[in-house]
Structure 1
Amino acid sequence: MAAENKKVWHTVTVESNDEVAEGIRRIVLRYPTRQKAKPGTHVDLEVPQPSGETLSRSYSIVDVDPTGHLIALSVLKVKASRGGSAAMHTLSAGTSLRATEPLQNFPLGVGASRYVLVAGGIGVTALVGMAAVLKARGADYEMVYVGRSRDVMAYLSELEAEHGDRLRVYAEGSALDVDALLDEIAADTRAASTELYLCGPIRLMDEVRRGWEHHGLPATNLRFETFGNSGSWAPQDFIVRIPRLGVEARVDANTTMLEALESLGVEMMFDCRKGECGLCEVRVLELDGQVDHRDVFLSRTQREEGTRMCSCVSRVVAAGTPVREDPEDETVDLEAAARNPGVVTIETT
């Protein structure tokens, strides 16, 4: 069951749906009433499926027009889409769907001596608005934008034009040295009052979190937003068992464990569906394979203990599956995975 979080729902209309980078579309929704969206906010959508059912998905708000009626999102089409991004890419102007008013889990602070924004891939959508507000405030800020190539980096030209040398871009031919970035922050006399805002793949987030802790920087000054479709392995089918309930479910590559168990009527606690809140955490009793932790809730030590996982985003892969080098590589030997899927036995909380 979902935790109460005072969501207010509206029926909204798709105003436009345009490509802004390779595989990324800017989708503008028209709301019936004026909305206020501060930097870092997102909306939850009920995304229609061909079956007639809907999937609940969260998308960061890029911007809101001056009237407050038009809210823009940007959606990356994930190669192994669970039905959310693929459906969003096909929405046509005039389509109606249900959406919440803006929700805030990633607020921009006030009063820091320095701000550093780090965007990985589609994570830039959560930071575009923050950068604009910091510029308007006259704050001391810089933005770091990391992507595979310029062709797949949404809003890159706009950000370069607006922020100039405050924007550092790492794409083909260059790579972000996280240690060097954090060394620079830690060596600055303003380190204790520098805030870093991060949105991107789990691997990037883990690297920054480890480095931030290693440098002894204030934990409260590192803030992040995540999306649960990036892990160490490409998604593949696996089996989940709950002995107490006599339940066994096959979780396909386009479905989460949480969704598979919900479809069988298992009562599950959840809220964010993004691997942040920890409400959907389950205990791991037995494991044949490897857990692909895609959350930011569990600590590194908790992950290594192997006794729990977040059912909304984390997955299981067959033993011996090689870790992918490219976090966006969704290539997987589906036939081999189907013959010998990973199996996890759990207990719900």
Structure 2
Amino acid sequence: MATSHSRVWQRATVTESDALTPGIRRIVFEPQRPVKVEAGAHIDVKVTIGGATDSRSYSVVTPSDEGRTITISVLDSPQSRGGAAVMHALRVGDTIEITQPVLDFPLRIGAARYLLLAGGIGITAIAGMASVLRSIGADYTLVYVGRGLGEMAFVEELRREHGQRLVLHVRDDGTPLDVATLVGSVDAGTELYTCGPIRLMDAVRRAWIERELSPANLRFETFGNSGWFDPQRFVVRIPRLGFETMVGTSETMLEALESAGLEVMSDCRKGECGLCEVRVLHLDGDLDHRDVFYSERQKDARGKICCCVSRAVSTDLGRPGPAVVTIDIS
């Protein structure tokens, strides 16, 4: 749960910007006023995309300097909705508006053991937790999963800091993660914190349920541009309002509805709170559920959708035109 979703905006100046991998850039901000940063927190950043002002969320990698600086790392990928390109273009001396750190993914101190699991850029949310656990002498293991070492940020820093507590699983090196084996090693006193692509977290959650482990000991954070399918254009209709619009590949259904002047209840915009969930009346295509309610949703996979992150897709390559989802909103 978030400590607060009330955003307080302030200007911040870029003091460092450097490439960690071909697709990941590390950016350090100096806010006008020092801010308290806790492990698992993120900031929202105002960006201008296509002439419109929007916001994007980025995990704070490491708290430092008593809040005088904030470090994030941003992945630019084909699934990005434009924010990553804006962030990658920032240079030292540029200014931008950011919020105070918001804690939606808190680390609970006091568990017997901890298992931290990061998939790809998910390491940005997990690295700070590992540092805290090391500083207090906790029993923890940090598992970091990626396609190739050249695409995985902070590996050498993590090796120096955590030594044998760091376990790497690199697909291209022939050491992919076996989720069932990993979760099978967990006992009832272990809390698992994970951040990464939806496929990884879905596998973790399924294995966790099969082991009948406590749901309270599984904690996760996702990013809304991580889905089962590449983003596609699709049509959304609301018959009760006589409304229809096209949702582009670089926008969400929620953003498209808001741009058309419709009001939809929402909060986190990351598929975590469920407030923006709408009823699906008819579907011509399939749904790409990108929220973190997927295990429960398997009972009614085509009946509801979190419009802040999830999408409609056409999975039939021979079918002409985009998918069409007909919904109703409160």
DSSP 3-state at the match of 2:70: strand
Residue deviations 1:303-343 (CA, integer Å, cap 9, x gap): 6441100101111111425xxxxxxxxxxxxxx88x51000
Structure 2 CA distance for partners of 1:83 and 1:230, relative to 1, 3 Å: same
* 1:62-77 equivalence runs, <5 A: 62-77=61-76
* Unpaired runs of at least 5, structure 1: 186-190, 322-335
Paired residue for 1:180? 181
**Counterpart position of 1:41:** 41
How many Å separate the matches in 2 of 1:302 and 1:284?
Answer: 14
Asked if residue 134 in structure 1 is aligned to residue 115 in structure 2, the reply is no
Does the residue aligned with 1:57 lie in a helix, a strand or coil? strand
Counterpart-to-counterpart distance in 1, 2:79 and 2:212? 37
Cα separation, 2, equivalents of 1:49 and 1:271: 21
Q: Which secondary structure state, in structure 2, belongs to the residue aligned with residue 279 of structure 1?
A: coil
SS of 2:65's partner is coil
Which whole-Å deviations, capped at 9, do the CAs of 1:105-131 have from their partners, x for residues lacking one? 111111111000000000000011111
| In the alignment, structure 1 residue 229 sits paired with structure 2 residue 225 | yes
Aligned to 1:341: 322
Name the CA distance, whole Å, in 2 between partners of 1:305 and 1:18: 42
Tell me how many residue pairs correspond in the alignment. Answer: 325
Judge conservation of contact 1:295–1:313 (CA < 8 Å) in 2: yes
- 2:39 counterpart letter in structure 1: P
**Deviation, structure 1 residue 68:** 1.8
CA contact (8 A) 1:290 1:342 kept: yes
Partner of 1:20 in structure 2?
Answer: 20
Q: Is the 8 A contact 1:291 1:317 kept in 2?
A: yes
Distance 1:62 1:89 in 2: 16
How far apart in 2 are the matches of 1:289 and 1:141? 43
RMSD of aligned C-alpha atoms? 1.5
Is the Cα–Cα contact under 8 Å of residues 48 and 97 in structure 1 kept in the other structure? no
Structure 2 unaligned blocks of 5 or more: none
Q: Secondary structure at the match of 2:188?
A: helix
Q: CA deviation at 1:252?
A: 1.1
Q: For the Cα contact (< 8 Å) 2:205–2:295, is it kept in 1?
A: no
Q: Report the identity percentage.
A: 53
Contact 2:236–2:326 (CA<8 Å) still a contact in 1? Answer: yes
Distance 2:168 2:53 in 1: 37
8 Å Cα contact 2:39/2:63 also seen in 1: no
Moved over 6 A (4+): none
Separation in 2, partners of 1:311, 1:201: 18
**CA pair 160-303 structure 1, distance change in 2 beyond 3 A:** farther
Preserved contact between residue 77 and residue 85 of structure 1 (Cα < 8 Å): yes
Deviation at 1:96, TM superposition (A): 1.8
1:9 match? 9
Give the match's secondary structure for 1:267: coil
Residues 83-106 of structure 1 deviation map (CA, whole Å, 9 limit, x = unaligned): 111111111222222111010011
Q: How does 1:112-151 map to 2 (within 5 A)?
A: 112-151=111-150
Equivalent of 1:238 in 234, 243, 254: 234
Deviations 1:131-164 (A, max 9, x none): 1111111110001100000001010111011111
TM-score, normalization: structure 1?
A: 0.90
Instruction: Give 1:236's aligned amino acid.
Output: Q
Contact 1:302 1:308 in 2 (8 A): no
Distance in 2, Cα, partners of 1:318 & 1:54:
30
Q: How many Å apart are 1:50 and its aligned residue? A: 4.7
| TM-score, scaled to structure 2 | 0.95
Amino acid at match of 2:28: V
CA deviation vs aligned residue, 1:25-70 (integer Å, no higher than 9, x gap): 001111011111110000111112351x221111000023314221
Q: How many angstroms does 1:299 deviate by? A: 3.2
* Partner SS for 1:160: helix
How far did residue 192 of structure 1 move?
A: 1.9
CA distance in 2, matches of 1:11, 1:296: 32
Query: Are the equivalent residues in 2 in contact too, given 1:288–1:319 (CA < 8 A)?
Result: no
